[in-house]
Structure 1
Amino acid sequence: MITIIVAMGLDNGIGADNQLLWHLPKDLKYFKETTTDHPIIMGRKTYESIGKPLPNRTNIVVSKRKDWFEEGILIVGSVKEALKFAKKMNENIFVIGGGNIYEQTIDLADKLQVTLVKTQSKAEVFFPKINLKVWDKTAEICHEKDDKNEYDFCFQTYERKESI
């Protein structure tokens, strides 16, 4: 199963200046719990914004740069190659960004795990529009902002509709 996991604003914004747009500890905890022990696929810029391999996950980074190397990650030249490696390791694969990688994988994904942050953003990078003819929202759990989480947000699950 290929699952895209993303935190996005009401305008589908996901990042600016190679950084996330907000700090939501509940979302970070959810991300860690959801992706631990599974391969994660990301683009080079997403990896660079994180700054290190995420522990207890196989970190697969898609990069066209031939001269780039980082200890502790698997570097591949395409999303297709990343998926090939990930499928050999685990039946549950998570795509964690960024925008270009989401664009390349949304038509291949089986599930979307979306954290919808209830704010407009000053984003430079956006998640693709979720086509409700293709995706069913199957779950939603909402949280109000608190002293540690600066915005209201909802964890949403979308599953691909069966094709006719």
Structure 2
Amino acid sequence: MTVTLVAAVAANGVIGAAGGMPWHLPADLARFKRLTSGHVLVMGRRTYESIGRPLPGRTTLVVSSRANWRPDGVTVVSSVDEALEQGLAIDEQVFVVGGTRVFESVLPRADRMALTLVDDCPPGDTYFPDVDWSQWVEVHREPGQGLAFVDYIRR
């Protein structure tokens, strides 16, 4: 069973701005689809609202404290623990896709990180959490134009 954090992270740590992403990177979106299709996604409510719909071919678990918030096509859970428990009961691979609070909660339990490192410092209001890099080892790097796809596993 594997829990993987997936994010595009700018050089300044930004992952979001004003409820969206501060860039449009088709290669990153294609990688995200390739990694996550057929698997379980865990995300916070704001991340789900920024996407606006369930992503096809994936089971979506949304962490929210709003009792009456129940969008069609997703399962709403009240905690990250509940999301991981349900997700791992459904699939051996769970992909955690944001936002900051969900990443912070899952990071100590994550097995892998699949990051797109963006060579830019855009303004933003949502950041990837601080990572203790001594706990991680880089296992793959694929450079691209203005970005790099980098995979890490926990030591």
TM-score by length of 1: 0.92
Where do 5+ consecutive residues of structure 2 fail to align? Answer: none
Query: Residues of 1 paired with 2:30 and 2:9: CA distance?
Result: 16
What displacement does 1:131 show? 1.7
SS of the counterpart of 1:155?
Answer: strand
Identity %: 38
The residue type equivalent to 1:158 in the other structure is: Y
Matched, 1:99 2:100: yes
Please give the alpha-carbon distance, in whole angstroms, between the structure 2 residues aligned to 1:56 and 1:154. 26
Match of 1:149 in 2: none
Alignment partner of 1:19 is 2:44? no
CA shift, 1:129, in A, is 2.3
Q: Look at both structures and tell me which one has the larger radius of gyration over its CA atoms.
A: 1
Deviation at 1:130, TM superposition (A): 2.5
What is the alpha-carbon distance in structure 2 between the residues aligned to residue 88 and residue 158 of structure 1? 24
SS of match in other structure, 2:109: coil
Runs of 4+ in 1 over 2 A off after TM superposition: none
TM-score relative to the length of structure 2: 0.98
Partner AA of 1:2 in structure 2: V
Q: Aligned partners of 1:130, 1:78: CA distance in 2, in Å? A: 22
Q: Tell me how far apart the structure 2 counterparts of residues 40 and 102 of structure 1 sit (CA, whole Å).
A: 12
How far, CA to CA, are the matches of 1:67 and 1:103 in structure 2?
25
Structure with a larger share of its residues in helix = 2
